[in-house]
Amino acid sequence: MPDWEDREIIEGFNIPGNEEIAFNQLVVQYQERLYWHIRKMVISHDDADDVLQNTMIKVWRSLNSFRAESGLYTWLYRIATNEALSFLKQKKKKAFAPWVDMEEQMFEKMEADPWFNGDEIQLKLQEAILKLPEKQRIVFNMKYFDHMKYEDMSEILGTSVGALKASYHHAVKKIETLLDKD
């Protein structure tokens, strides 16, 4: 099945009786990228699956009101990012733990995760990324792994391009410092 243009997905979703076909096409085209974006934030495969499912439910409920003021891709990433951040906040509240403890728990989960297939260098990089403040971690992942443009990140995160560039620069410096220690 060839990929649909975003416009075709949105138009298809707004045709009565065609909603499921259009939504399934959206899922086919974006599910994997959204999963990995979420996974980099929540670390655990199971948690990423849960957050992705919540994201898709929110998309299903909201797609008919999508006004195309931003790209579909950007809109989807914004929803996925917000769902992942909400998940992390709830998890932190339930644990009554400071971020440092959560960071350690997330790293331990990643090490034990049978879905993680990185080598020792990848594991050290992920450990360094987890030590970044949340905003820097998100910006680093979006730029480094997803090769996202600052303008798209700005729409998704509601932050200026200049601030995002600064966050990325600081994140890179911190990661370099953390990796040099080992």
Q: Which CATH number does the domain housing residue 85 bear? A: 1.10.1740.10
3 φ/ψ angles, rounded to the nearest 5 degrees: -65, 140
Residue 66 within any structural domain of the chain: yes
Angle formed by the axes of helices 99-112 and 72-95, nearest 10°: 110
Number of domains in the chain: 2
Residue 180 within any structural domain of the chain: yes
**Same domain, yes or no, for 129 and 67?**
no
What is the rounded average pLDDT of the residues 2-13? 87
**Same domain, yes or no, for 137 and 56?**
no
Residue 110 within any structural domain of the chain: no
Q: What is the pLDDT of residues 119-143, one digit of tens each?
A: 677 778 888 898 899 899 999 999 9
Q: What's the pLDDT score for residue 104?
A: 62
Q: What is the pLDDT of residues 77-132, one digit of tens each?
A: 999 999 999 998 888 777 655 544 556 666 566 555 555 555 677 778 888 898 89
Give the tokens for residue 61: 């409920």
Q: What's the pLDDT score for residue 39?
A: 93
Domain span at 54: 1-97
Q: What is the DSSP letter of 115?
A: T
What pLDDT band is residue 4 in, cutting at 50, 70 and 90? confident
Q: What is the DSSP letter of 118?
A: -
The answer to which of 43-57, 58-72, 161-175 has the lowest mean pLDDT is 58-72
d(CA 180, CA 106): 22
CATH code for the domain in which residue 146 is found: 1.10.10.10
Q: What's the pLDDT score for residue 91?
A: 82
Q: What's the pLDDT score for residue 125?
A: 84
Share of the chain above pLDDT 70, in %: 84
Q: What is the pLDDT of residues 160-173, one digit of tens each?
A: 999 999 999 999 99
Residue 92 within any structural domain of the chain: yes
**Same domain, yes or no, for 14 and 83?**
yes
Q: What's the pLDDT score for residue 122?
A: 76
